[in-house]
Amino acid sequence: MQFRIYQPLPGRTLIQELDDLLLQLYDVKTNFTRVYFSDVKNQLPVFERHPLAKKLNERVMAYVEQPPLDGSKVALQTVEGDASHFLFQSIRFAEECDGQSAEEQTFEAFESHISFLKEQDLNLKDNCLRTWCFVHDIDRHYDGLVNGRNRLFEREGLNKDTHFIASTGIGGSFAHNAALIGIDFLSVDQTYSGTIRYLQAADYLNRSEEYGVAFERGATIDVANERYFFISGTASIDKQGDIVHPGDVVTQAGRLFLNIQKLLKDGGGSLADMQSVIIYLRDIADYVTIDRYMRMRFPQLSFLILQARVCRPGWLIEVEGVAVKSL
């Protein structure tokens, strides 16, 4: 299973960029695709009429407004290869959720995935491996995500004495004004769920529950002869949970990759095992600097830089990623 990134040649019309992506994916079979738009309300209707949407809708497809910062209007992250033991689901809300709070939408999204898993004789606690939680106007609605997830996890028996779920909580917008929350889920069937392990690096970054948030810093799963590492959204944070290097995006990047390195090490991996990363920047003015930083430090690594507000204003950059290592 591979997590891949596709970007069109930027600076053209949306149709031209979609045509470009369709050619890149001509003979590619996807299991899951997330589409990143720069202007979802205007672009989603055009995308839905394009042949690329028909191709991607053959399997699970998600979308979010998180503008690619290379100047393109759209970008993709796909999951390819043998994903027969994994289950993907994307929850997006429409106008019928008008009046619901972020907490209510979060709870409902998790309830939907629990029902989805029950149909496969699976459950959230044992089988959900990774979530991606997108929050409209995150500076206002992040607490709603946290409270809704905490409340549901408590009911489902996910706590500091058992475990949580690897996750990213990040700013993102949707097609419908009433939608405050969107969540993508990655779960695994019973064949390999017993191999899930959770990553920690206590000397470098603290556990999330220490500041009231319920997620794991990362998780691994062993499938056949490979170990997959799912690194949650990671920022420049120390073992007290404090922001390191406030105001300096480059040194924040250095610290967060140190944190990721230590998380990977906890599972027997290294930065050399990284397959791809998604980089979230709060300020578009930092794009050139971080693009140069990534190309110099990780010349072989596939990455995508997006504009998205991180859950704490002082975090200028957040990174998530997937790594794979042969066993």
* Domain match, 272 and 300 both: yes
**Residue 100 to residue 117: CA distance in whole angstroms:** 24
Which whole number is the average pLDDT over 166-177?
96
Question: H helices of 130-248, where?
Answer: 138-156
* Domain match, 325 and 242 both: yes
Helix (H, G, I), strand (E, B) or coil at 303: strand
pLDDT tens by residue, 68-120: 999 999 999 999 999 999 999 999 998 788 889 999 999 999 999 999 999 99
Examine residue 109 and state whether it is found in any structural domain, yes or no.
yes
For the chain, percent of residues with pLDDT exceeding 70? 100
Q: List the CATH number of the domain containing 273.
A: 3.30.1330.40
Give the per-residue pLDDT at 246: 94
C-alpha dist (Å) from residue 150 to 110, 115, 135: 11, 18, 16
**Residue 313 to residue 186: CA distance in whole angstroms:** 28
Query: Is residue 14's pLDDT more than 90?
Result: yes
Query: Is residue 312's pLDDT more than 80?
Result: yes
Give the per-residue pLDDT at 96: 81
Give the global pTM: 0.96
Give the structural domain span for 31.
Answer: 1-83
Say which residue, 98 or 292, is predicted with more confidence: 292
Give the per-residue pLDDT at 311: 85
Domain-ending residue, one of 66, 83, 100: 83
Domain-ending residue, one of 56, 83, 110: 83
* Domain match, 22 and 76 both: yes
pLDDT tens by residue, 243-290: 999 999 999 999 999 999 999 999 999 999 999 999 999 999 999 999
* Domain match, 277 and 189 both: no
Query: Is residue 313's pLDDT more than 90?
Result: no
Query: Is residue 150's pLDDT more than 80?
Result: yes
**Residue 221 to residue 194: CA distance in whole angstroms:** 8
Q: Would you place residue 25 in the very low, low, confident or very high pLDDT band (cuts 50, 70, 90)?
A: very high
